[in-house]
């Protein structure tokens, strides 16, 4: 992290020895047909590139023996436990920066062309071989009229062929081109880096509901008659300018919003509440013995006294803070961790609500050693 992260590419041979694809080719193809899954089909005939966006029926994909096409499926961590487990291996980086696991399958010669991305990426080869060619950041023209962002010129400075288990890290803006040598599957660990405008848009929209402070209304005693009724009076403009310039969010508004913003689920995410929610005392006894696990779609974070989950913010009592931080850091609580916490406590009520929302789950009784299967 100190030497490479956001600075230099890094090739790690055999980073994940014995790795197997998190999903099969057929399961990946089936995923592309779902309308809650983001997918793209990129193919190439000669110099002509074609892109189609999902949902795509498996039956309308090209034959796997046809060369030079690739299917990319975003957010696989939301749908496949093994994909979530692979993403979890990258939790040496904060959840607030980790985005998703994309899986791409390519036929021989397939790829998306030379391009740059605005985000860091870890490229993990999980099946077959892929040739990666990279070049340092620099000003570059794009191919005109192409349906995807492809560099018009690309002079690679390094080339590697990645085998299953090998991993390549690339900082933002490094040009890269990955070409399948025979059919291959690659997982891309993607990152999030909020932009200033994204943050401002969200925050200001959020504040619009409760701007805070007093709510005076414009008054103008002694207003003179006008011959220019179309003109906005200067005193009116002055008082509105003063209100806007004097507006400041409070630190509490900012602290509250940051975590909600960073844990907001993606628009296509929905949770599946359990079919039956046991009453709190009985459920609590089970949570104490079995522990809890976060649903793979849940986003959790904490900062200061606040805990955030799926776009909501809570300030737990000081006694619960450590447990909730642990829940966020481990995406779960081990069996016995809640022993001694009363069923009628605020914490039990909170966790029960999150269970009922489908945000947390009770692990199966025989599956208490979670985290060891990745």
Q: Looking only at residues 237 through 256 of this chain, which bind Mn ion when binding is defined by CB under 5 A?
A: none
Residue window 60-99: x/- pattern of binding to Mn ion, with contact defined by CB under 5 A: ----------------------------------------
Which of 117, 181, 256, 264 forms a contact with Mn ion (CB under 5 A)? 117
Q: Which is nearer to Mn ion, 172 or 363 (CB)?
A: 172
Q: Tell the smallest beta-carbon distance from residue 121 to Mn ion (Å).
A: 6
Q: How far apart are CA 260 and CA 238, in angstroms?
A: 35
Paired residues of 123 in beta bridges: 168, 188
Four-residue CA torsion sign, 174, 74, 122, 113: negative
Cα–Cα dist 302/332, whole Å: 14
Rounded Cα distance, 199 and 38, in Å: 23
- Cβ proximity to Mn ion: between 21 and 171 the closer is 171
To Mn ion, the closest distance from the beta carbon of 134 in angstroms equals: 10
Nearest approach, Cβ of residue 341 and Mn ion (Å): 46
Task: Please state, in angstroms and rounded to a whole number, the distance separating the CA atoms of residues 321 and 271.
Answer: 25
Q: Which CB sits closer to Mn ion, 138 or 319?
A: 138
The residues in 308-327 that bind Mn ion, with binding defined as CB under 5 A, are: none
Which C-beta is closer to Mn ion: that of 192 or that of 337? 192
Q: Least distance to Mn ion from the beta carbon of 353, Å?
A: 39
What is the C-alpha to C-alpha distance for residues 349 and 48, in angstroms, rounded to an integer?
58
Residues in the chain: 374
**Token duo for residue 328:** 């966020």
Best CA proximity match to 291, nearest among 371, 364, 185: 364
Applying CB under 5 A, which part among 5-13, 115-123, 211-219, 279-287 lies near Mn ion? Answer: 115-123
First vs last C-alpha separation in the chain: 22
Least Cβ distance, residue 332 to Mn ion (angstroms): 32
CA angle at 153 for the pair 182 and 147, rounded to the nearest 5°:
70
| Binding span for Mn ion by CB under 5 A among 70-78, 96-104, 111-119, 285-293 | 111-119
C-alpha 50: how far from its chain's center?
A: 26
State in angstroms the smallest separation of the CB of 42 from Mn ion: 12
The least distance separating Mn ion from the CB of residue 52, rounded to whole angstroms, comes to 19
For Mn ion, the closer CB: 121 or 348: 121
Q: Residue 319 CA to chain centroid, in angstroms?
A: 30
* Residue 21: strand pairing partners: none
Q: Which is nearer to Mn ion, 61 or 134 (CB)?
A: 134
Task: Select the span of 5-13, 44-52, 109-117, 361-369 touching Mn ion (CB under 5 A).
Answer: 109-117
Please identify, using beta-carbon distances, which residue of 28 and 341 lies nearer to Mn ion. 28
- For residue 215, what are its two tokens? 């709510």
Q: Interface with Mn ion by CB under 5 A: which range of 15-23, 43-51, 60-68, 114-122?
A: 114-122
Q: Which residue is nearest to Mn ion (CB)?
A: 117
We find the least distance from the C-beta atom of residue 43 to Mn ion, in angstroms, to be 17
Q: What angle do CA 218, 219, 220 make, to 5 degrees?
A: 130
Closest CB to Mn ion among 36 and 117? 117
Count the residues of the shown chain that bind Mn ion, applying the rule CB under 5 A: 1
Question: Residues near 202 by Cβ (< 8 Å), separated by ≥ 6?
Answer: 257, 261
Site for Mn ion in 261-300 (CB under 5 A): none
| DSSP labels, 327-373 | HHHHTEE-TTTTTT--TTSHHHHHHHHHHHTTSEEPPPTT--STTS-
Q: Given the rule CB under 5 A, which of 61-69, 101-109, 110-118, 263-271 is the region that contacts Mn ion?
A: 110-118
Residue closer to Mn ion (CB basis): 37 or 72: 72
Write out the binding residues for Mn ion, residues 148-177 only, by CB under 5 A.
none
Which pair of tokens denotes residue 171?
């900082």
Q: Give the separation between CA 140 and CA 173, rounded to whole angstroms.
A: 10
C-beta closer to Mn ion: residue 176 or 260: 176
**Interface positions with Mn ion (CB under 5 A):** 117
């Amino acid at each position: 992290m100190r030497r490479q992260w956001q600075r230099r590419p890094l090739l790690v041979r055999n980073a994940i020895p014995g790795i197997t694809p998190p999903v099969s080719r057929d399961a990946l193809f089936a995923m592309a047909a779902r309308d809650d899954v983001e997918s793209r089909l990129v193919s190439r005939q000669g110099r002509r590139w074609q892109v189609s966006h999902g949902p795509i029926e498996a039956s309308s994909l090209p034959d796997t023996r046809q060369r030079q096409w690739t299917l990319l499926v975003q957010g696989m961590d939301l749908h496949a436990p093994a994909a979530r487990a692979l993403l979890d291996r990258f939790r040496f980086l904060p959840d607030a920066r980790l985005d998703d696991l994309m899986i791409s399958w390519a036929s021989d010669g397939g790829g998306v062309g030379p391009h740059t991305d605005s985000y860091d990426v870890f490229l993990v080869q999980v099946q077959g071989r892929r040739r990666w060619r990279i070049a340092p950041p620099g000003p570059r023209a794009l191919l005109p009229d192409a349906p995807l962002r492809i560099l018009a010129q690309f002079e690679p400075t390094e080339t590697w062929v990645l085998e299953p288990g090998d991993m390549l890290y690339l900082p933002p803006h490094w040009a890269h081109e990955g070409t399948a040598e025979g059919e291959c599957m690659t997982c891309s660990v993607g990152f999030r880096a909020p932009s200033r405008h994204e943050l401002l848009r969200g925050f200001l929209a959020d504040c619009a509901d409760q701007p805070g402070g007093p709510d005076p209304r414009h008054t103008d005693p002694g207003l003179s008659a006008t011959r220019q009724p179309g003109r906005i009076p200067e005193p009116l403009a002055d008082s509105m300018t003063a209100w806007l310039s004097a507006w400041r969010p409070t630190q509490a508004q900012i602290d509250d919003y940051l975590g909600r913003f960073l844990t907001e689920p993606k628009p296509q995410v929905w949770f599946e509440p359990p079919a039956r929610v046991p009453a709190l005392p009985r459920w609590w006894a089970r949570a104490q013995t079995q522990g809890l696990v976060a649903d793979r779609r849940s986003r959790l974070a904490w900062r200061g006294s606040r805990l955030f989950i799926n776009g909501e913010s809570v300030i737990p009592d000081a006694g619960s803070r450590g447990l909730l931080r642990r829940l966020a850091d481990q995406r779960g609580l081990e069996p016995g961790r809640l022993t001694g916490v009363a069923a009628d406590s605020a914490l039990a009520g909170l966790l029960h609500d999150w269970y009922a929302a489908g945000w947390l789950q009770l692990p199966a009784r025989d599956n208490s050693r979670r985290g060891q299967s990745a």
